[in-house]
Amino acid sequence: MLKLDNVSKVYRVGAFGGKALYAVNNVSFEVQKGEVVSLIGESGSGKSTIGKMILRLLNVTDGKITFNGTDISTLEGEALKEYYRQVQGVFQDPFSSYNPIFKADRIFKVLHEEFFPEVPGAEWQKRVEHALSSVGLNPMHVLNKYPHQLSGGQLQRFLIARALLLDIQFLVADEIISMLDASTRIDVLNLLADLKSRGLSILFITHDLSLAYYISERAVILYKGYVVEQGAVERIFHTPLHPYTRMLMESVPRLDRKWEKGVTLLERKIEEFRNGCPYFERCPVAEKLCAVYRPPLIEVETDHAVACIHYQSSSEVQNPLDLVPQSTRPTSSM
């Protein structure tokens, strides 16, 4: 359904845009119909940039995004409008999507005028009420109110209802539950699960591995714009391979044990680093070679790929400076 092929995004930064910042680097993955794929990574790893490129809010610098086989960068006019009927996004801060001087349900009026001007008002009202009910809201309680009179969870559901009115096939859900309280979180998560069971595909953007495990079938782990691990969420959750994914797993608080270990920060000299593994600075098991060698994603078992030198056989490793010829597979203590 939706496919990213070697997608990169470069921002021009610094004085007069003289420096290139690779926010997303050569990322490839696919989301099938009715599938939820989680895009996981810490702040600044490029998650939102990917979401915005899918929603055509940002152009792709390199590579291609296709939706049902069509390169989305070629869409214009009616074809682009049709794309937005099928692909929509909901973002982290629900309040920022509303203008506080207008009632919250204005988003439905705008949608009516823009996409469905031929539908009579009474019929549209019925559709709005139906969409609100299907996201668990009582139309009587939430219509005709200003944004400040509704909770974050209700506003978030409004946005999902808006997407449903378009009869979308693909939803980009960018950190949509991070601002909600625990009970509302679970409601919105269950709503997403329900939408999935009705055939909707979702790209679920999060920094929280446990949320991803709850909702998705597949996961893509991003670090500094690179995919470091991807595959079936069960495999990643139960057998995380990349040292970064392991660190994320250690950061998940668990009720059955005291939280002792946090983020591993190592004192590794950055001067040593020359276009090597993006995780080199922080990796507890990095070798000298990792400073200069960037490992490709290698499938180590069905539906589980990792980009780490420790999972490549030494013959596959192209040592750019002929520094260290051997690398060994990690032991269970890694």
Ligand X SMILES: Nc1ncnc2c1ncn2[C@@H]1O[C@H](COP(=O)(O)OP(=O)(O)OP(=O)(O)O)[C@@H](O)[C@H]1O
CB 1 within 8 A of CB 169: yes
Question: How many whole angstroms separate alpha carbon 224 and alpha carbon 240?
Answer: 18
User: Does residue 13 interact with ligand X by CB under 6 A?
Assistant: yes
Nearest distance from C-beta of residue 165 to ligand X, angstroms: 27
Residue 45 binds ligand X, judged by CB under 6 A: yes
Mask: binding to ligand X, 18-37, rule CB under 6 A, as x and -? ---x-x--------------
| Collapsed DSSP state (helix, strand, coil) of residue 258 | coil
Smallest gap from Cβ 36 to ligand X, in A, equals 18
Q: Are strands 19-31 and 36-40 parallel, antiparallel or unpaired?
A: unpaired
For residue 87, the minimal CB distance to ligand X (Å) is 18
- Cβ(174)–Cβ(51) below 8 Å: yes
In the chain, the N- to C-terminal Cα span, in Å, equals: 37
Nearer to ligand X, 39 or 305 (CB): 39
Cβ closest to ligand X, residue 21 vs residue 186: 21
Among 46, 63, 89, 276, binds ligand X (CB under 6 A): 46
Q: Which residue type is seen at 10?
A: V
Identify whether the C-beta of residue 260 lies closer than 8 Å to the C-beta of residue 266: no
- Smallest distance from ligand X to CB 227, Å: 13
- Whether the CB-CB separation of 8 and 60 falls below 8 Å is answered with yes
Rounded to a whole number of angstroms, the minimum distance from the CB of residue 54 to ligand X is 12
Shortest reach from residue 26's CB to ligand X, in Å: 15
Determine the interface stretch with ligand X among 44-52, 208-216, 237-245, 310-318 (rule: CB under 6 A).
Answer: 44-52
Site string for ligand X, 200-219 (x = CB under 6 A): -------x------------
> Tokens 């507890």 appear where?
284
Residue 11, interface with ligand X (CB under 6 A)?
yes
CA 259 centroid distance within chain: 27
Stretch that binds ligand X, among 41-49, 67-75, 77-85, 190-198 (CB under 6 A): 41-49
Q: How many residues bind ligand X (CB under 6 A)?
A: 13
What angle is formed at CA 220 by the lines to CA 55 and CA 40, rounded to 5 degrees? 80
Residues 206, 43 contacting (CB under 8 angstroms):
no
Q: Which residues bind ligand X (CB under 6 A)?
A: 11, 13, 21, 23, 41, 43-49, 207
